[in-house]
Structure 1
Amino acid sequence: MTSRNQNVHGTGGATDSAGQPMRSDAERNRGRIIAAARTVFGRDGLHASMASVAREAGVGIATIFRHFPVKEELVAAVFADRMEAYAQATAEALANPDPWDGFTGYIEEVCAMQAADRGFADMMTMSFPGAEALEALRAQAYQGFLELIERAKDSGHLREDFTSRDLVLLLMANAGVLSATGDAAPDAWRRLVAWMIQSFQAPARGPLPDPPEDAALYEAMRRASQGMGSSEAGKRR
């Protein structure tokens, strides 16, 4: 469950841990922290330290933890708008009258969103059970993607053994390529995505190994998010 002082959109109206409105200086600090985290996470990914965010914001690490006791809450504040865009991309894809164009356009759009922000690339391969607003948007996008899959299969363009878990694997692979290539080969991800889209197309060239179970993928994503914050624990003691 998100804490009472969390405002996931990073806008005004923030409250303290007792649910009271923040003083103007405290709210300004909170805004500076969120803006700094956008910069640091976007550049370095979610494994960047809270100390790095504090330096970027020009505040002490104690100030960071007063506003965001756990890193997950800061991630939720920073990426709420991007998760809304992610969910909206599904709705726009479903509005495309061509099922295959809608399906492939959605995959390209989501992977482009990853490429534009390393923090978002990481977040798409992690699960944050305590960030209820983020997870609700993720679930909304997931339900829309299931419909995209069925439409593309019904049109005869998508191979029958494609599952929603294949998108998770693609996002994980894309995040890895983005992390490895960085600014040395910033468009390398496009080739990966193009290859994968062609492999998804019917008719299938041959059988595939079974996909991982949903529970196994969720556990992998959960562990990734736990690893993101593990290095911070000692800094608070």
Structure 2
Amino acid sequence: MLLALDVHPSRRGDLLSEPTLAFDPPIEARSYVDGFGNACTRIVAPAGLTTISTAFRIFDDGQPDVVAPDAAQHDIGDLPDDVLVFLLGSRYCDTDRLADFAWSQFAATEPGWARVQSICDFVHEHVIFDYQKADSLRTAHGGYVERIGVCRDFAHLAITLCRSMNIPARYCTGYLGDIGIPPVPDPMDFSAWFEAYLGGHWYTFDARHNTPRIGRILMATGRDATDVALSTNFGPTRLARFEVVTEEV
């Protein structure tokens, strides 16, 4: 199994306790950094039930996601080399199937922050959130056609539309609790969102919630959900239980 359960290296300086992974029964684990700079773990799980857990405290400044209306869109020729991959289609972000729609829908919008926000507004209104309709095979085009999904589907569709408009966008996964908002009944404090590269920086966007949030703790980034899955299994497995909880202390 490959595990992406650690806090992203960019947030390690905020940790107030060490987020050590615990395994029951004990398992030998090896840490590594993947090609996207995420902290990951490799294990060989034995037959039977294995429990994987972690708990930690982390400092957050309590400020909502940054909003930068003046952030500009780059010409492709001016993009850093390592950003170019986030313009390409990927497993769940099928740009070839949505490019024509993207240009017909968003070509008249102002390039830069306003264009990404217009994409978020569209996805937020177009897709209905429903935990019962989660589908690990659904691509961005599938979400666009079916108009239903979970947080990953909102992110995949928004990322695909951004890439189609020549805006680099990457998938993000992490903790997102009900901090600074009324409690919501949705299970667990785990979410997917995306980042767009504008004005020389990666900025957070969230097409599902479509409003700046407090206490977002990044775990991993990649091209799409394939790169940042909490666990990737090589062999038959069954998920017996899954629980993610964040609390403001």
- Same fold? TM cut 0.5: no
Q: State the TM-score, normalizing by the size of structure 2.
A: 0.25
The structure with the greater share of residues assigned to strand is 2
Q: Which has the larger radius of gyration?
A: 1
Q: State the TM-score, normalizing by the size of structure 1.
A: 0.26
The structure with the greater share of residues assigned to helix is 1
